[in-house]
Amino acid sequence: MTKVAFQGERGAFSEDAVITFFGDVELFPSRYIGDVFEAVLRDEVDFGVVPVENSQAGSINDTYDLLLSYPLNIVGEIHLRISHCLMALPGESLDGIKMIYSHPQALAQCEEFLRKLKAEIVPTYDTAGSAKRIKESGLKGCAAVASRRAAQIYGLEILAEKIETNVNNYTRFFVISKKKAEPTLKSKTSLVFGTKNIPGALYACLGAFATRDINLTKLESRPSRDKPWEYIFYVDFEGHIDDKVCQEALAELKEKTNFIKILGSYPRAAD
């Protein structure tokens, strides 16, 4: 059976992403996103599923840094609708909650609802892990922000549901592997590059795509870890690395950059 690692405990949204993409597989929960990359690199699993960005809270920086560091390939993507619930031990009431646990991204996505509660907000490493902690430690007066399935797994009572600020709340996940994905009719490519420190450098780099009518679906800058106040750029574009027009664009891009790393070409997720 296919083995897939994901960040979080059973009931995490990353597990939902795994099931959505693969169906029935052997699941390997991991505490940190970096642990997922390590499991794939060491052949402990066949694939990893990691969150990349949320439509409300933005990018998951750890994932982007790890994509740059590890010799792995993006082979798929998932767009998952995220709906959060507030859950606690059976018998608890909303008015009695004094402390709320969850992952920082989930807390950010539910900020408007949580702001109305007179409770201390405590960031943790995982949404489902917060639910598991409340159950196993019998934490009274405490609640977790997690998925409906997490409440079912850990036997918690849902005090409020659909508490996310934006109903159009989606998280994008990448599927990573040591292998590469086969070309498809609707492919997307992700890469990262560093520009030369000269006027118009980024403009020139993006021209390699624009002059060939290659559609960029994402452009994001991140601070360089090697040089203070310098930046690298993550780009997603429509097309496969083996497409002739994409190869031409990348050949031109290599002439205008300090470095470039192809993170993967993979099938585009269905909208």
Please, how many CA atoms are within 13 Å of residue 218, restricted to the half-sphere of its CB?
Answer: 19
- 21, 173, 193, 233: which is the annotated catalytic residue? 173
DSSP string, the chain: --EEEEEBSTT-HHHHHHHHHHSS-EEEEESSHHHHHHHHHTTSSSEEEEEEEETTTEE-HHHHHHHHHS--EEEEEEEEE---EEEESTT--GGG--EEEE-HHHHHHTHHHHHTS--EEEE-S-HHHHHHHHHHHT-TTEEEEE-HHHHHHHTPEEEEE---S-SS-EEEEEEEESS-PPP-SSEEEEEEEEE-SSTTHHHHHHHHHHTTTPPEEEEEEEE-SSSTT-EEEEEEEES-TTSHHHHHHHHHHHHTEEEEEEEEEEEPPP-
For residue 86, the one-letter residue type is: L
Q: 266: which residues sit within 8 A by CB, 6+ positions away?
A: 74, 75, 76, 77, 175, 181, 187, 188, 189, 190
Cα–Cα distance for residue pair 3/153, rounded to 1 Å: 21
- 171, 189, 195, 257: which is the annotated catalytic residue? 171
Q: Is 171 a catalytic residue?
A: yes
Q: Is 13 a catalytic residue?
A: no
Which active-site residues does the annotation give? Answer: 171, 173
